[in-house]
Amino acid sequence: MFIFVNKIKTMHIKLVTKIKLDGNLCRKSARVLSGLERLDLLGQINEIIAADERDPLSEGFNLANKYQVQSAPFFIVEDDDGLTHLYTAYYRFMQDIFQISVSESDAISEIMAQNPELDYI
């Protein structure tokens, strides 16, 4: 874990969440934030950017549009080589960046949420 924390110091991590019209986070954004907090990893996220439904011009929507992402939350990781990696799946982000595996059921649930077209397989 210590080796890993040293490694991510050279990364810049943005988390894009969604805020609904009622001012609350969408369900998955809330779940991911709470998961990161529980694992004491929230401090490793450099920026938390909102796509706020009350402000359609908010930066989160710009980023969603730029990266063609369909749903929140998602992560943009810029590494020290200047490369940008996009993670739309929380479980993949956790595996690649924090080397933490989530349960298969959680991974499947995430895959289905991020890929609604799988309903038609």
Partner 1 sequence: MTQVNTITMTETDVIKLESEYATKSPQEILTFALKQFDNIAISFSGAEDVVLIDMAAKIKKDIKIFSIDTGRLHPETYQFIDRVSKQYRIKIDVIFPNAGEVEALVKEKGLFSFYQDGHKECCGIRKVKPLRRKLATLDAWITGQRKDQNPETRASVPVIQVDTAFSDSERTLIKFNPLSSWTSAQVWQYIQKNEVPYNQLHAKGFTSIGCEPCTRGILPNQHERLGRWWWEEAADKECGFHEINLTQTNK
Q: Tell whether residue 15 is a contact of partner 1 (CB under 8 A).
A: no
What does DSSP assign to residue 73?
A: -
State how beta strands 47-52 and 12-19 pair.
parallel
Which residue in 36, 49, 61, 77 binds partner 1 (CB under 8 A)? 61
Cα–Cα distance measured from residue 103 to residue 109, given in angstroms and rounded to the nearest whole number: 10
> What does the block give as tokens for 113?
């949420």
Q: Does 73 bind partner 1 (CB under 8 A)?
A: yes
Return residues touching partner 1 (CB under 8 A).
Answer: 18, 20, 26-29, 51, 53, 56-57, 61-62, 64-65, 68-73, 88-89, 92, 95-96, 104-105, 108-109, 111-121
